[in-house]
Amino acid sequence: MRIALASDEPYPVHATVRRALEDRGHTVVPFGAIASGHDEPWPDVAEAAALAVASGACDEGVFFCWSGTGISIAANKVAGIRAALCADPGAAAAARIWNHANVLCLSNRTLSDDMAKELLAAWFDTAPGERGAAGVGRLAAVDARHRR
């Protein structure tokens, strides 16, 4: 798979995540600070990387910001994106099963190398589940009612 890897600031954990993604056979497509090596505005980074996922240029995404919250909010503004901020492997697996999330959002500030590997394993080893399909369908209806 082609994975959009995005952050607004460069952090050491990105190297661990990139290596773990590549070790799983994924092609990493860098965005924001991961591509440029310097700080970039999180809304702009999220939009560019989310558009790559939504358009199919990338299959999924792993996005970072200081808390993970801002980049997840910004990514979710792009139609077709279901970005989930996850701090533990159980939440990452649940986001795949129940929400069919296609972007994993993480905190630059709090993520250790070991937890990054555990989160990626939970995310990529869990397929979107049938149990979540009805909820995702209802979410699409909510989205349609509120898109301008």
- Catalytically active residues are 65
Residues 135 and 140: their CA atoms lie apart, in Å, by 9
Contacts of 22 (CB under 8 A, 6+ apart): 28
Strands 2-7 and 103-107: unpaired
Strands 103-107 and 60-65: parallel
